[in-house]
Amino acid sequence: MARILMSQASVGPEEEEALIRAVRSGWVAPLGPEVDAFEAAICERTGREHALALASGTAALHLALLEFGAKPGVCVVLSSMTFAATANAVAYTGAEAVFVDSREADGNVDAELMIEAVRVLQGEGREVVAAIPVDLFGRCADYDVLEPALGELGVPVLADAAESLGSMHRGRPAGSFGEAAAFSFNGNKIITTSGGGMLVSDDGDLIRRARYLSTQAREPAPWYEHTEVGFNYRMSNILAALGRAQLSKLDEFIARRREIREMYLEAFSDIDGLRFLGRSEEVDGSTENCWLTAIDLGGHVGVSADEMVAHLDGNGIEGRHLWKPMHLQPLWERARVFENGVSEGLFKRGITLPSGYGLTNGEVERVIGAVREKLDRA
Ligand SMILES: Cc1ncc(COP(=O)(O)O)c(C=O)c1O
């Protein structure tokens, strides 16, 4: 039986056509009309005024942080429960990464704790140049609380929306929060360019500067003139064509991932102690793109995340631990953290289940059967 994967990319004839179109247009070098059109399409989808297509979501975070003034001697506060890329982007700038723990409901950053972290750091005379809430597994962070409070404290919000394209929070689309937001289009995301990312903002100067840094900081001169260190971070025209084809199917991708989540919700509704970290229905204008479905096995004494992942693996199914919090990573053992124990608990008890667009109902049933088998035996 074929192995059931977590979140496989789904590409078809539309993507093939888009790639051929880009190749035949002669715009094979980086940049070109597909890049411009992809940026415009993301602006339209997110309601942002400006977008910059880049080689990765990590590059988008890195450039935004540089624009916010991240450098040695200053701090950036960020969600601890995230993929390494969020913290790596801070490390590239030399700024001090200060981690903030999660809230129990969904693993997203504890907004009050993030605000307190900024207050404490500022009280110590430290400069906090940015705060990065992460939209975990596709569910937007609590921007209602974060945006006004951090605004008052003078700290720009950089939303890590790598996982949340297409989600809504209280009537506003993911990526529209904060001074800037970063998307990822890597291979396992809700849409993919095989590798890529996008920085979005309403601040034209910020995007202009980031654009300049992303193309080796080349000055407008007839020769190659440079006054700053730049990066080779732009997205290629060919990959942008792929991105446009994928973006045109985003709603279809979300609808199928939502159906899969609903199948899991229904199948596990009778299991005491099994909890979902997100939902499928709309509440208060908030919807999730259902990128990955995450469950907390907490109430089930005797089944840890580790055991469930191993059991699924033995059944040819890819289950994954939730992101191991950054403050528990050996790399960051000396980092400062504002901790409440929540993300550590979620990491021990939580897993994500296969959620890809291309999964058949039969495959989802296989996952459900395997999870139930393990819980019933516990
Ligand atoms: C939360 C989060 N932030 C940042 C990234 C980095 O994106 P990329 O892989 O495109 O660099 C990812 C995905 O990989 C992610 O899941």
* pLDDT > 80? residue 302: no
Percent of the residues in the chain that have a pLDDT greater than 90, as a whole number: 93
Choose the weakest-confidence range: 16-30, 50-64, 157-171. 16-30
pLDDT at 86: 98
pLDDT at 138: 97
The average confidence (pLDDT) of the chain is: 96
For ligand 1, what atom is nearest to the CA of residue 61? 4
**pLDDT tens readout for residues 34-44:** 999 999 999 99
Distances, alpha carbon 114 to alpha carbons 97, 142, 212, 278, in Å: 13, 11, 31, 21
**pLDDT tens readout for residues 249-265:** 999 999 999 999 999 99
* pLDDT > 90? residue 130: yes
205: Cα separation from own chain's centroid: 24
pLDDT at 272: 86
In a mutational test of the pocket of ligand 1, which residue from 80, 108, 186, 231 has the highest number of ligand atoms less than 8 Å from its CB?
A: 186
In a mutational test of the pocket of ligand 1, which residue from 78, 184, 320, 326 has the highest number of ligand atoms less than 8 Å from its CB?
A: 184
The CA 146 to ligand 1 mean position distance, Å, reads 21
Q: Ligand 1 pocket: which residues have CB below 6 Å?
A: 56-58, 82-83, 85-86, 134, 160, 162-163, 184, 186, 197
**Dihedral, CA atoms, 283, 284, 290, 294, nearest 10 degrees?**
-70
* pLDDT > 70? residue 301: no
The CA 56 to ligand 1 mean position distance, Å, reads 8
The CA 106 to ligand 1 mean position distance, Å, reads 19
Choose the weakest-confidence range: 114-118, 119-123, 164-168, 297-301. 297-301
* pLDDT > 70? residue 373: yes
**pLDDT tens readout for residues 186-240:** 999 999 999 999 999 999 999 999 999 999 999 999 999 999 999 999 999 999 9
Please report which confidence band the pLDDT of residue 300 belongs to, taking 50, 70 and 90 as the band edges: low
The CA 162 to ligand 1 mean position distance, Å, reads 5
For ligand 1, what atom is nearest to the CA of residue 196? 10
The mean per-residue pLDDT over the stretch 125-132 comes to 98
* pLDDT > 70? residue 184: yes
Choose the weakest-confidence range: 154-158, 298-302, 358-362. 298-302
